[in-house]
């Protein structure tokens, strides 16, 4: 009913470089899909093209079975929630939520029922007669979400809906959005954020868009997949560096030898390490970059380790981030250690580099396949519980 398909969708503003380049996506009915990427990568533009608020230069957009390129926004069966709430200031909460239904000539009894149901779900019942100026930011955003719910759309579109909320309210509203999606059995959701934690926690699948001068295919899809797939099997350095916080450490070296499941690399700092990666398509002597996530790194003399000097540390309570000399002064290697860890600047420590935790990238930044099985990465387990029955 609300499957969304994009085929070779392209967008450029005038003579400027393309903002969206040949994007192909197939977002399933009831799927929660998150567009994520750095500022300016084109995620809002892509969402607005689905909504009908931006034209599509070329390519095809389908919602359900229907080609929507030239269909007016109101006829697309989508409801959008904006970062800025976009409420009518002179209308009460009730009137704001009822407005779209009145335009669509829904009868008053149904309007009352639908607004009442949405107000109950979003705990807005005591606020229905207030004007938006008498609401907090979080309450305003709930009204905006309520206005989308009452329309019972086939597709929900969210454009950075939590950006104006404080940290605690962001977590609470994130939970509410996930619940609404789950309770609406057949609706698909497309959600834009620059926050990779929101993307990881909400998405069935993530679309990470390329961005930045180092990426030739600006505005194209870097990777489309389940959150843990992007985390454990990023297709390139850009994805590996974007997903995960603090970001993955990159350590340059040269390939010494490769079998189908083990690569031996000599780091630029001289040590030899092995990674469970298939680098057999490369020749010995090829320039490569190792990737090691801060949470996979440990200070300790595991079977494979290198000695490093502590530069500084950040103690956060539940964890301590150690910044170690990596051989490249501007780019320390970050290790996430337990909160009770303590190390002095200048101290020499052993940085363990377990072969199963190492990623490897070729000179173009493309990932070489990790040979560790999905079961070992918990990638074969279902990420989300099945949806509950539809809200009626």
**159 vs 229, which CB is nearer to ligand ATP?**
159
**96 vs 211, which CB is nearer to ligand ATP?**
211
Q: Is 34 exposed, middle or buried (0-12, 13-18, 19+ CB in 10 A)?
A: buried
CB of 13 to ligand ATP, least distance (A): 3
Site pattern 166..205 for ligand ATP (x: CB under 6 A): ----------------------------x-----------
**19 vs 34, which CB is nearer to ligand ATP?**
19
Residue 177's Cβ-side half-sphere holds a number of Cα atoms within 13 Å equal to: 35
CB of 212 to ligand ATP, least distance (A): 11
CB-based contacts of 252: which residues, under 8 Å, 6+ apart?
267, 268, 287, 288, 289, 290, 328
CB atoms within 10 A of CB 351: 25
**41 vs 306, which CB is nearer to ligand ATP?**
41
The DSSP secondary structure of 216-250, one letter per residue, reads TTTTSEEEEE-HHHHHHS-SBHHHHHHSSSSPPEE
CB of 222 to ligand ATP, least distance (A): 13
Q: Can you read off the two tokens belonging to residue 35?
A: 């567009």
CB of 100 to ligand ATP, least distance (A): 24
Q: Do residues 308 and 351 touch, judged by C-beta distance below 8 A?
A: yes
**20 vs 255, which CB is nearer to ligand ATP?**
20
Question: Is residue 380 left, alpha or beta, with left meaning phi > 0 and alpha meaning psi from -120 to 50?
Answer: alpha
Q: Is 72 exposed, middle or buried (0-12, 13-18, 19+ CB in 10 A)?
A: exposed
CB atoms within 10 A of CB 388: 11
Helix H or strand E segment including 251: strand 249-258
**38 vs 64, which CB is nearer to ligand ATP?**
38
**230 vs 292, which CB is nearer to ligand ATP?**
230
**154 vs 219, which CB is nearer to ligand ATP?**
219
Q: Which of 4, 9, 19, 63 binds ligand ATP (CB under 6 A)?
A: 19
CB of 345 to ligand ATP, least distance (A): 36
Site for ligand ATP in 344-363 (CB under 6 A): none
CB of 123 to ligand ATP, least distance (A): 29
Q: Does the footprint of ligand ATP cover residue 21 (CB under 6 A)?
A: no
CB of 27 to ligand ATP, least distance (A): 18
Q: How many residues bind ligand ATP, per CB under 6 A?
A: 12
Site pattern 30..69 for ligand ATP (x: CB under 6 A): -------x-xxxxxxx------------------------
Burial 261-294 (b: 16+ CB within 10 A, else e): bbbbbbbeeebebbbbbbbeebeeebebbbbbbb
**12 vs 286, which CB is nearer to ligand ATP?**
12
What angle, rounded to 10 degrees, do the helices at 93-103 and 137-150 form?
Answer: 20
Site for ligand ATP in 134-163 (CB under 6 A): none
Question: How far does CA 136 lie from the centroid of its chain?
Answer: 27
CB of 220 to ligand ATP, least distance (A): 13
CB of 161 to ligand ATP, least distance (A): 13
Between CA 342 and CA 383 the distance in angstroms is 35
The sign of the dihedral angle between the CA atoms of 193, 196, 197, 199 is: positive
Between CA 24 and CA 9 the distance in angstroms is 7
Q: Can you read off the two tokens belonging to residue 356?
A: 């199963």
**194 vs 305, which CB is nearer to ligand ATP?**
194
CB of 288 to ligand ATP, least distance (A): 31
Residues of this chain that interact with ligand ATP (CB under 6 A) are 13, 16, 19, 37, 39-45, 194
């Amino acid at each position: 009913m609300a499957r969304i398909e994009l085929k070779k969708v392209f967008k450029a503003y005038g003579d400027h470089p393309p903002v969206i380049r040949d994007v192909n996506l197939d977002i399933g009915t009831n799927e929660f899909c998150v567009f994520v990427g750095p500022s300016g990568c084109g995620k809002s533009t892509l969402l607005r093209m689905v909504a009908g608020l931006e034209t599509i230069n070329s390519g095809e957009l389908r919602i359900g079975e229907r080609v929507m390129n030239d269909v007016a926004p109101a006829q697309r069966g989508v409801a959008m929630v904006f970062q800025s709430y976009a409420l009518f200031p002179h209308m009460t909460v009730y009137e704001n939520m009822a407005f779209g239904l009145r335009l669509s000539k829904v009868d008053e009894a149904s309007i009352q029922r639908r607004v009442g149901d949405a107000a109950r779900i979003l705990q807005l019942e005591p606020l229905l007669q207030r004007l938006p100026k008498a609401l907090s930011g979080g309450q305003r955003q709930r009204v905006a979400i309520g206005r989308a719910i009452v329309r019972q759309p086939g597709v929900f579109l969210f454009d950075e809906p939590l950006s104006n909320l404080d940290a605690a309210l962001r977590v609470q509203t994130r939970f509410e959005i996930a619940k609404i999606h789950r309770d609406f059995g057949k609706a698909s959701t497309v959600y834009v954020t620059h926050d990779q934690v929101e993307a990881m926690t909400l998405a069935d699948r993530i679309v990470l868009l390329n961005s930045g001068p180092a990426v030739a295919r600006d505005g194209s899809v870097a990777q489309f997949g389940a959150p843990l797939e992007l985390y454990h099997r990023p297709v390139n350095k850009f994805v590996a560096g974007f997903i995960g916080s603090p970001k993955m450490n990159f350590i340059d070296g040269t390939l010494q030898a490769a079998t189908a499941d083990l690569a031996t690399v000599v780091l630029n700092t001289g040590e030899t390490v092995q990674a469970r990666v298939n680098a057999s398509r490369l020749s010995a002597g090829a320039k490569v970059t190792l990737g090691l996530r801060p949470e996979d790194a440990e200070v300790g003399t595991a079977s494979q380790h290198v000695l490093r000097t502590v530069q500084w540390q950040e103690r956060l309570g539940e964890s301590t981030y150690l910044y170690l000399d990596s051989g490249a002064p501007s780019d320390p290697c970050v290790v996430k250690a337990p909160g009770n860890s303590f190390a002095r600047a200048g101290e020499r420590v052993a940085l363990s580099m377990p072969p199963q935790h190492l990623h490897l990238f070729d000179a173009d930044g493309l990932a070489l396949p990790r040979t560790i099985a999905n079961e070992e990465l918990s990638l074969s387990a279902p990420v989300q519980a099945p949806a509950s029955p539809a809200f009626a």
